[in-house]
Amino acid sequence: MTAQSVANKLGHAFTDAGLLRTALTHRSFGTPNNERLEFLGDGILDCVIAAALFHRFKDLAEGDLSRLRANLVRQDALHGLAADLKLGECLHLGEGELKTGGAQRPSILADALEALFGAIYLDAGFEAAQSAILKLYAPLLDAIKPGLAQKDAKTRLQEWLQGRKKALPRYQLLEASGAAHEQRFEVVCEIDSPPLRTLGQGQSRRIAEQVAADKALRELNA
């Protein structure tokens, strides 16, 4: 995965390639690095997600909206999205971080993704950054069910089965297709009892698994 491929997945073509490089440069590599861009991107992300939730969920109270936003912008959510982008493959890290697995460290990946949001803002303005964030977050926003928002579909499916003393579901990748920046994954979710098989598609295996799990839950609760 290259830096340009990551930018393509976010739907942005950088005018200033230096901003893209800086966003992917950890402080261990030297200066300039992405710390200031991460600060900027963090604020932009909060604003974009807050606005998206505000407009999507018109009946939710402030406290519920705040919890949803916190859930979406926390480190593990950012780490998952960064991992889907294979961001670790194009980070510039110092030798020490490379040797200790810095390219897979959740905090480093989460910070780099926020730095990318800040870099897009500086490169093309708020609307460009907003567009990139909403493109990346679309599956997570679409999956929100008020009242169940703190748990993803795979977790809820597992709890549904465990509560009925059933075997856990199995997920299997059926197909990965498309160019590197436009890949599509198809995953099957299989349950033994009750017998059920659902398919999910998405821009990453993780997203496809969540879609398949959500379909299984819908059928089980129908």
Catalytic residues: 42, 114
Is the Cβ–Cβ distance between 156 and 212 less than 8 Å? no
Paired tokens of 88: 């670790």
Paired tokens of 89: 């493959």
Q: How far apart are CA 113 and CA 34, in angstroms?
A: 10
Provide the residue type at 38 as one letter: E
Paired tokens of 157: 């499916």
| Tally of helices (H runs) and strands (E runs) in the chain | 10, 3
